[in-house]
């Protein structure tokens, strides 16, 4: 029997009718059978402040870090703000990236999808996120990508993804991510056995 892969998903938008929150829900439905996606809501993560961190992580930050640590991989669904990463998402990643040398993000497989109302489907945000992943020593899936432009035409008014082609991209992406996570897990086992 194939072991279930636990993926933690979070969205870079707090908007109630966010396309990216809707995208997370679509991903849950389109995930391969071996993959279970649970959602963490970033709304409760406070603004990063090292003075607060020095006194100990706030409870919601602790919960976020624990959820990341327990996950086999991360799925980020995010809009692009001003050609870059929305503050909500960057702030959450900043908290999770600490302490730098032992952060829960290190070695974590991650995949990004994004929906925007513009034409380029969050391409520049996804590129900017790759710098963050590099510093944090995470392992992003390169391809296939999910870049959803003109999101208003792809989701209905209740937030359901209605575009079949986009569903196919998401499904292919998650299949690829499942393989990527397994490759990294198997590689880690080989390295650990040689220690
Ligand atoms: C945007 N939007 C946007 N879109 C884009 O394609 N490139 C961009 O750089 C930006 N910049 C931007 C900045 C800010 C502050 C906002 C609020 C919006 C539009 C964006 O794609 C649109 O609002 C999406 O609907 C946001 O995603 P959610 O909230 O629906 O998930």
User: pLDDT tens across 73-94, in order?
Assistant: 999 999 999 999 999 999 999 9
pLDDT of residue 90: 99
SS3 assignment, position 135: helix
Task: Please report the domains of the chain, with CATH numbers, ordered by start residue.
Answer: 5-194 (3.40.50.360)
CA–centroid distance, 80 to ligand 1, in Å, is 5
Mean pLDDT of 108-131: 98
- 87 CB under 6 A from ligand 1? no
- Closest atom of ligand 1 to 152 CA is 25
Q: Could you tell me which of 170, 176, 122, 164 has the C-alpha nearest to residue 147?
A: 122
Mean pLDDT of 50-60: 98
Check whether 112 has a pLDDT greater than 90: yes
Q: Could you tell me which of 174, 191, 186 has the C-alpha nearest to residue 74?
A: 174
- Closest atom of ligand 1 to 17 CA is 30
pLDDT of residue 106: 98
Q: What is the CA radius of gyration of the chain?
A: 16
User: pLDDT tens across 135-153, in order?
Assistant: 999 999 999 999 999 999 9
């Amino acid at each position: 029997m194939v072991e279930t892969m636990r993926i933690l998903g979070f969205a870079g938008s707090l908007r109630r009718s966010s396309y990216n929150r809707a995208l997370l829900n679509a991903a849950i439905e389109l995930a391969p059978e071996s993959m279970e996606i649970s959602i963490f809501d970033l709304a409760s993560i406070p603004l990063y402040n090292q003075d607060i961190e020095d006194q100990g992580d706030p409870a919601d930050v602790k919960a976020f870090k624990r959820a990341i640590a327990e996950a086999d991989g991360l799925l980020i669904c995010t809009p692009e703000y001003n050609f870059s990463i929305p503050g909500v998402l960057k702030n959450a990643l900043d908290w999770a990236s600490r302490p730098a040398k032992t952060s829960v993000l290190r070695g974590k497989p991650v995949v990004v999808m994004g929906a925007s109302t513009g034409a380029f489907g969050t391409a520049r945000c996804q590129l900017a996120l790759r710098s963050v992943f590099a510093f944090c020593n995470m392992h992003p899936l390169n391809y296939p990508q999910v870049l959803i432009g003109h999101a208003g035409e792809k989701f209905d008014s209740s937030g359901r993804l209605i575009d079949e082609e986009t569903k196919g991209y998401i499904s292919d992406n998650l299949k690829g991510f499942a393989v990527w996570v397994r490759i990294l897990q198997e590689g880690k086992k080989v390295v650990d056995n040689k220690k």
